[in-house]
Amino acid sequence: MNANNPYAPPKAIVEDAVEPPMPRPRSVTIAVWMLWSELAMSVTVAILHMYNAPNTMVFLSALIGAVLFQGLSALLNYKIWQGRNWARITYLVLLGLSALSILSMAAVGPTGLVFAPSIETLFVGLGCLLDLVALYLVFVPGRAWFRRRSVVA
């Protein structure tokens, strides 16, 4: 084709506008560090479960559960650090499900729920407290950072 053709379409470079990344809010940084601390306590509880396993089947099920759930937790922590909205929602759902496991560790006494005194119960309770505070930090003060920026069409 002739480069001087008056009927040729214009030769314009068209690109999407590049938005500078938003800096990570301090609340999200603190929340992710809390989530990593909770993961460390969760690994400790898993090791205690495996150490106290009465037989090989219980040990193997604790090992498989620990690898799967700790791996999923590590992935979610990393994705929350990256600003993925789906990761914080998934973590919220999983925290709700883990509340059921805390209730299963409780014994029902004549006055209601009485938690069995053990280091595992303490770590699980403290871990859930860390999770609650961390999720508050990513859902309330840090929520704007997780919003997707609209694409101009």
Does residue 8 fall inside a structural domain? no
- Rounded to whole angstroms, the Cα distance separating 52 from 58 reads 9
Q: What is the pLDDT of residues 3-57, one digit of tens each?
A: 688 888 777 777 777 777 788 999 999 999 999 999 999 898 888 878 887 888 8
Strand (E) or helix (H) holding 109: strand 106-109
Which residues does 102 contact at the CB level (< 8 Å), separation at least 6? 124, 125, 128
Does residue 15 fall inside a structural domain? no
What one-character DSSP code corresponds to residue 104? H
- When mean pLDDT is compared across 39-48, 68-77, 81-90, 110-119, the lowest value belongs to 110-119
Does residue 96 fall inside a structural domain? yes
- Rounded to whole angstroms, the Cα distance separating 110 from 74 reads 39
pLDDT of residue 58: 82
Q: Which residue has the higher pLDDT, 78 or 18?
A: 78
Closest to 46 in 3D by CA, of 108, 127, 107, 103: 127
What pTM, to 2 d.p., does this model score?
0.74
Quickly state the pLDDT bin for 152 (edges 50, 70, 90). very low
Does residue 122 fall inside a structural domain? yes
Which residues does 82 contact at the CB level (< 8 Å), separation at least 6? none
How many domains does one find in the chain? 1
Is the pLDDT reported for residue 113 higher than 60?
Answer: no
Is the pLDDT reported for residue 95 higher than 80?
Answer: yes
Does residue 18 fall inside a structural domain? no
For the CA atoms of the chain, what is the radius of gyration? 24
Does residue 21 fall inside a structural domain? no
Average pLDDT score over the chain: 82
Give the side-chain half-sphere CA count within 13 A for 59: 6
Is the pLDDT reported for residue 140 higher than 90?
Answer: yes
pLDDT of residue 118: 75
C-alpha dist (Å) from residue 81 to 19, 47, 109, 140, 145: 19, 26, 41, 16, 11
The vertex-43 CA angle with 41 and 45, nearest 5°, equals: 70
Is the pLDDT reported for residue 153 higher than 50?
Answer: no
Contact criterion met (CB below 8 Å) for 142 and 28? yes
- When mean pLDDT is compared across 72-81, 103-112, 129-138, the lowest value belongs to 103-112
Does residue 110 fall inside a structural domain? yes
Does residue 17 fall inside a structural domain? no
Give the pair of three-digit tokens for residue 11. 């030769």
% of the chain residues with pLDDT over 90:
35
What range does the domain containing 75 cover? 26-143
